[in-house]
């Protein structure tokens, strides 16, 4: 009998975690502002950005709101990653970033647990997820946006530090974060 051994590496590099000082009222706009700050203050070759949003509508909203900003330039590639996209579009995020460019990957929780995207140096987390619950008033399932659990946030932090030192930005305060379940 032959037994094969598989080694699954965990986080290999340091992750610097930053919490929000104040409550974030509009996390899509805050994600854009944070991505702009990173883009302006860190060299383009310092790495790509992964942003967690709740769904395709927010991803589309992010892209629309970026029109005319510094994120709407030839040296920025904004790539969505969500289940509603065909496989070819989803696989685009895994292609190497062209020289002189920065990728901004906009993802739902599809990238939360098992996806590693090379060259991600910055992870921005909205701290919200879209979950399906049964609504007895309409006698049907419905999608609701709710705060992410501590487990989900820890999973998302696990996307950081896989291939390089990473900055992980959480839109919850360091007071709220430990109290999540």
Whether the per-residue pLDDT at 7 is higher than 80: the answer is: no
Whether the per-residue pLDDT at 3 is higher than 90: the answer is: no
More confident of the two residues 8 and 154: 154
More confident of the two residues 138 and 176: 138
Whether the per-residue pLDDT at 6 is higher than 50: the answer is: no
Q: List the single range of 4-13, 14-23, 121-130 with lowest mean pLDDT.
A: 4-13
Per-residue pLDDT, 123: 93
Q: What is the mean pLDDT of residues 24-43?
A: 95
Whether the per-residue pLDDT at 120 is higher than 70: the answer is: yes
E strands within 20-158? Answer: 48-52, 76-81, 102-107, 120-125, 128-135, 140-147
Q: What is the mean pLDDT of residues 118-124?
A: 92
Q: What is the mean pLDDT of residues 103-122?
A: 85
Do 144 and 131 meet the contact criterion of CB atoms below 8 Å apart?
Answer: yes
Q: What is the mean pLDDT of residues 95-119?
A: 87
Whether the per-residue pLDDT at 178 is higher than 80: the answer is: no
For the chain, what are the domain ranges? 15-173
Mean pLDDT of all residues belonging to the chain: 86
Q: What is the mean pLDDT of residues 101-129?
A: 87
Per-residue pLDDT, 51: 95
CA proximity to 131, closest of 115, 151, 154, 108? 108
Q: Work out the pLDDT band at 49, boundaries 50, 70, 90.
A: very high
The CATH class given to the 15-173 domain equals alpha beta
Q: Dihedral angle at the C-alpha atoms of 163, 164, 165, 170, nearest 10 degrees? A: -50
């Amino acid at each position: 009998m032959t037994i094969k051994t598989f080694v699954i590496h965990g986080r290999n590099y340091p992750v610097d975690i930053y919490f929000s000082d104040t409550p974030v009222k509009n996390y899509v706009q805050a994600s854009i502002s944070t991505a702009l700050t990173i883009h302006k203050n860190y060299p383009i070759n310092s790495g790509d950005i992964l942003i967690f949003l709740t769904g395709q509508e927010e991803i589309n909203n992010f892209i629309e709101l970026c029109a005319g900003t510094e994120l709407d330039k030839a040296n920025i590639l904004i790539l969505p990653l969500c289940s509603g996209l065909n496989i070819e579009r989803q696989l685009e995020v895994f292609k190497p970033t062209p020289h002189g460019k920065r990728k901004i990957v906009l993802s739902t929780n599809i990238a939360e647990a098992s996806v590693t995207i090379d060259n991600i140096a910055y992870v921005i987390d909205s701290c919200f997820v879209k979950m399906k619950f049964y609504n007895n008033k309409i006698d049907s399932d419905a999608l609701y946006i709710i705060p992410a659990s501590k487990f989900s946030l820890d999973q998302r932090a696990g996307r950081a530090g896989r291939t390089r030192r990473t900055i992980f930005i959480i839109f919850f305060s360091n007071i709220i974060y430990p109290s999540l379940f």
